[in-house]
Chain A
Amino acid sequence: MNTKENLYTISVYTENNIGLLNRISAIFQRRHINIESLNTSPSEIEGVSKFTIVVNMTEVNIKKIIGQVEKQVEVIKAYYHNDDETIYQESCIFKMRSNLLFDERQIQNIIKESNSRIVTVNKDFFVIEKSGKKEEIEILYKELSGFGIMQFTRSGRIAVTKEEMKISTMLETYNN
């Protein structure tokens, strides 16, 4: 088994419960594991939530972590995948001063070439949105930072797997 650290995406299907975020993040905290990103959202199954957690660790340890996560009463199922096994995206938004749009023609090119888009423009500021891989967002950040960024936020990773997740069939057997 691989003993070198790797980026893994953990998908956790859970009941929608108030304390669960705390319970799951405590598993990582207790073992001194840094969470690279964490996203919670509804899943493809009604009434089931999904945590998407990105961590950098060895495969030996991620298996143990999955065991600890699945052990929680309100966790239905947890999976881990490497980057080759998932399609993943992050998104980000930049708030910039509006005059740049007219004074700095280059910005238009950057927006076009980076496949980002302008969400809104008013007389003081405009907002750029971009979805993509973390590296693409980092490049865009670098390119825009020279013009002065008023605000910047990047979301956690969201991901789907190339292979089917067996969660739906599993849930059906539970419910029957």
Chain B
Amino acid sequence: MEMQTIKNKEIVTKVTERISGSEAIVRCLIAEDVKIIYGYPGGAIMPVYDELYKYQDKIHHVLTRHEQGATHSAQGFARISGKVGVAIATSGPGATNLITGIADAQIDSTPMVCITGQVASHLLGSDAFQETDIVGISTPVTKWNCQVTKASQIPEALAKAFYIARSGRPGPVLVDITKDAQFEEFDFSYEKCTKVRSYIPIPKTVEGSLEAAAKIINEAKKPFIVWGQGVILSEAEEQLKAVIEKAGIPAAWTILGASAIPTAHPLNVGMLGMHGNYAPNILTNECDVLIAIGMRFDDRVTGDLNKYAKQAKVIHFEIDPAEVDKNVKTDVAILGDAKASLALLLPLLNKNTHTDWHQEFKDLYAIEYKKVIKNDIHPTEGGLTMGEVLNQINIQSKGEAAIVSDVGQHQMIACRYANFNQTKSNITSGGLGTMGFGLPAAIGAKMAAPEREVVSISGDGGYQMTIQELGTIFQQKAAVKIVVLNNDFLGMVRQWQQLFFDKRYASTEMVNPNFVAIAEGYYIKAKKVTKREELAGAVAEMMASKEAYFLEVCVEKENNVFPMIPSGASVSDIRLE
């Protein structure tokens, strides 16, 4: 059937086909170039699964073992590829189980489209079986969401969903589709969305702001760059590198910004925040110009805001106007996309080296190395440390692996010590701090980038929150390398109990199962290491494996992560012990 519509005075011929709403959903996904989706079937989404069965040569559906796993896999997929991740679930509990992953994607700006089935429209509000108000529930944690009750609304809703998820500051969106809309037949045609009237994905840079920023940077004696995930999301890695190299500016990263610039780059001075490196935290309160790029001054990064970089002029490169002046008052805000803004900034900057200033970072690193790093990664006595496991992974992977961490002590150690040569290689739950994120996110990352080595690093606590996804790894033959750093404790909480609650270890000691047996139960090769001399060989064996591999490393039970900025303290009050 052909329909003619008049648009911009031109006659556009749209080819339409009469198909069901559920088939339209699958066809929309194909039109958006989606090849892998993660989900779990159920009553209200069954018509869509029926179509997925017919279109399985075009779209690979990954059956996760829990809907939360589907969202984290979609997030891992998005984070390593820069593309939109897709998760799909049924109504009621299927939909509510998505919420943790959606909230995680919202706070970490991850592009994700979630599609949920919903009870038939005549049953809405009747407390029908598996009915839940998922649009209401997901509103505060989505960038956008909507409910569709007619098949004819599906193409526009999904086109808008993909556009909103990926454009501007990315984020999760949810489209809830009633079962009758899935069954209904209509004349289908698909047009990608390129504009929403009320939505400005990339704000205009204020005229003169780049020149003002360049002047401040050129006059600075101690300029300091702090960058975040915005650099990765806008693919501004080369532009950032060019800026720091030309102007000779030391640069540090938030954990979501990690890997944008190689770890070994001489101007990469390390990690910011609560468990970040000594020098960048101390010197935040010494710099004269602080240049924030694609980061949002999270409280885990800034510590006490009243004692944060008060001496410095602040320049903020930011795509989301709501972030400007939200936590830290800026002197110059550069609104817009980081890649474009940095490219425009570069020719305005003077060449510089700031050798003495850079030396201050080196001197403080030497102190941190002696007091913390050396013992973390090259311990000579005591039990195994998390740091030496990371060191072995660095050696074996030559810094080419993507590291997917969970949340807790091992996460801080992984972010601190992992070597990254490539961007989009540090996948972790930053803003929400979602235990259980790591394993399913690693599945998504491996499937999006099968050519890459993907190492999932979890603690014994978080690992057990989504341990059932071993089933997905087995079924999908996803060659994820799984490392559990087992200290038989919820280590980070235990650390706080030790430091701030007089060692009252309330509900942090874990009596753990036989992890090797569990992995083997899923037919995954598995090994447990308890001694230092076994570690290098075991990591080498894991990395050499062509298929999934599970490695449990029993580490010292009561080690703490240092440096540490106590909660509510200033960045310059960072403690080394």
A-side residues, CB < 8 A to B, are: 14-15, 17-19, 22-23, 26, 30, 63-64, 67-68, 70-71, 73-76, 171, 174-175
Contacts and interface: CB of A to CB of B under 8 A. Distances in A.
Interface of B: 135-136, 139-140, 143-147, 164, 196-199, 320-326
29 contacts: A14-B198, A15-B197, A15-B198, A17-B146, A18-B147, A19-B135, A19-B136, A19-B145, A19-B146, A19-B147, A22-B139, A26-B140, A63-B325, A64-B322, A67-B322, A67-B324, A68-B322, A71-B321, A71-B322, A73-B144, A73-B164, A73-B196, A73-B199, A74-B144, A74-B196, A74-B198, A75-B198, A174-B197, A175-B197
A34 B480 CA distance: 49
B140 to A, nearest CB: 5
Contacts of A70: 321-322
B304 to A, nearest CB: 18
Contacts of B322: 64, 67-68, 70-71
Contacts of B136: 19, 22
A57 B39 CA distance: 44
Nearest to B146: A19
A67 B326 contact: yes
Given A23-B140, A67-B322, 18 more contacts: A15-B197, A19-B135, A19-B145, A22-B139, A26-B139, A26-B140, A64-B322, A67-B323, A67-B326, A70-B322, A71-B321, A73-B198, A73-B199, A74-B198, A75-B198, A76-B197, A76-B198, A174-B197
A73 B197 contact: no
Please list the 5 inter-chain residue pairs (A to B) with the smallest Cβ-Cβ separation, ordered nearest first. Answer: A67-B322, A76-B198, A73-B144, A71-B322, A26-B140
B320 A71 contact: yes
A19 B321 contact: no
A173 B164 CA distance: 20
A171 B197 CA distance: 8
A67 B140 CA distance: 15
Nearest to A76: B198
A106 B357 CA distance: 82
Nearest to A60: B325
A19 B157 CA distance: 14
Nearest to B164: A73
A14 B196 CA distance: 12
B140 A73 contact: no
Contacts of B139: 19, 22-23, 26
A14 B199 CA distance: 10
Interface residues of chain B: helix, strand, loop or mixed (majority): mixed
Nearest to B142: A23
Contacts of B320: 71
A76 B143 CA distance: 15
Contacts, number: 50
A22 B138 CA distance: 11
Of A14, A22, A73, A76, the most chain B CB neighbours within 10 A belong to: A73
A82 B140 CA distance: 28
Nearest to A29: B140
B121 to A, nearest CB: 13
Contacts of B146: 17, 19
Contacts of A30: 140
B204 to A, nearest CB: 12
A136 B496 CA distance: 56
B20 to A, nearest CB: 24
A63 B146 CA distance: 27
Contacts of A174: 197-198
A49 to B, nearest CB: 11
Contacts of B140: 23, 26, 30
A63 B324 CA distance: 10
Contacts of B164: 73
A73 B173 CA distance: 11
Nearest to B173: A73
A16 to B, nearest CB: 11
Contacts of A26: 139-140
Nearest to A48: B198
Contacts of A22: 136, 139
A84 B146 CA distance: 38
Contacts of B143: 73
A153 to B, nearest CB: 26
A27 B144 CA distance: 14
Contacts of A63: 325
Contacts of A73: 143-144, 164, 196, 198-199
B150 to A, nearest CB: 13
A175 B325 CA distance: 30
A70 B201 CA distance: 12
A109 to B, nearest CB: 49
A64 B326 contact: yes
B325 A64 contact: yes
Of B139, B146, B147, B164, the most chain A CB neighbours within 10 A belong to: B139
Of A74, A75, A171, the most chain B CB neighbours within 10 A belong to: A74
Contacts of B326: 64, 67
B7 to A, nearest CB: 14
Nearest to B169: A71
Contacts of B197: 15, 76, 171, 174-175
A171 to B, nearest CB: 8
Nearest to B145: A19
A30 B326 CA distance: 15
Contacts of A74: 144, 196, 198-199
Of B145, B198, B324, the most chain A CB neighbours within 10 A belong to: B198
A19 B144 CA distance: 10
A75 B198 CA distance: 6
B164 to A, nearest CB: 6
B141 to A, nearest CB: 10
Nearest to A13: B198
A168 to B, nearest CB: 14
Nearest to A77: B198
A71 B322 CA distance: 7
